[in-house]
Amino acid sequence: RKEVEQDPGPFNVPEGATVAFNCTYSNSASQSFFWYRQDCRKEPKLLMSVYSSGNEDGRFTAQLNRASQYISLLIRDSKLSDSATYLCARGYGQNFVFGPGTRLSVLP
């Protein structure tokens, strides 16, 4: 089993929709979790950190379920500009492991 797994998508949703991604991890000792956004041919940029049960920032909500070993990202009222690949990552010590990413396309 891979350390961090994500559904690669693509998720094609209409503008204004709510969309959710899950990310599962296998290392129960993981200390911290992150969601990054990566636009085509660009570097990943931090979207949210998830240190406890969850975090919310505007239209974005991240939740952590340690018992089931997954984190989720919910995007409400999707915008065209939300189209990107969303990477989740888990950290333990200096060790960071990224998932392969989930591609989101928001359609007009």
Partner 1 sequence: SQTIHQWPATLVQPVGSPLSLECTVEGTSNPNLYWYRQAAGRGLQLLFYSVGIGQISSEVPQNLSASRPQDRQFILSSKKLLLSDSGFYLCAWSVGGGTDTQYFGPGTRLTVL
Pick out residues in 20-59 that bind partner 1 (CB under 8 A). 31-32, 34, 41-46, 49
What residues are paired with 72 via a beta bridge? Answer: 22, 63
- Distance in Å, CB of 15 to partner 1, minimum: 26
| Number of Cα atoms under 13 Å in the Cβ half of residue 97 | 16
Q: Which of 63, 101, 102, 106 binds partner 1 (CB under 8 A)?
A: 101
Instruction: Based on the shown chain and the rule CB under 8 A, indicate whether residue 84 belongs to the binding site for partner 1.
Output: no
Instruction: Based on the shown chain and the rule CB under 8 A, indicate whether residue 106 belongs to the binding site for partner 1.
Output: no
Q: How far apart are CA 85 and CA 87, in angstroms?
A: 6
Long-range contacts of 48-55 (CB under 8 A, 24+ apart): 48/73
Instruction: Based on the shown chain and the rule CB under 8 A, indicate whether residue 66 belongs to the binding site for partner 1.
Output: no
Contacts of 95 (CB under 8 A, 6+ apart): none
When the beta carbons of 54 and 100 are compared against partner 1, the nearer one is: 100
Phi-psi domain of 16 (left: phi exceeds 0; alpha: psi -120 through 50; beta: other): left
When the beta carbons of 36 and 63 are compared against partner 1, the nearer one is: 36
- Distance in Å, CB of 50 to partner 1, minimum: 11
Question: Which residues of the chain form contacts with partner 1 (CB under 8 A)?
Answer: 31-32, 34, 41-46, 49, 87, 89, 91-101
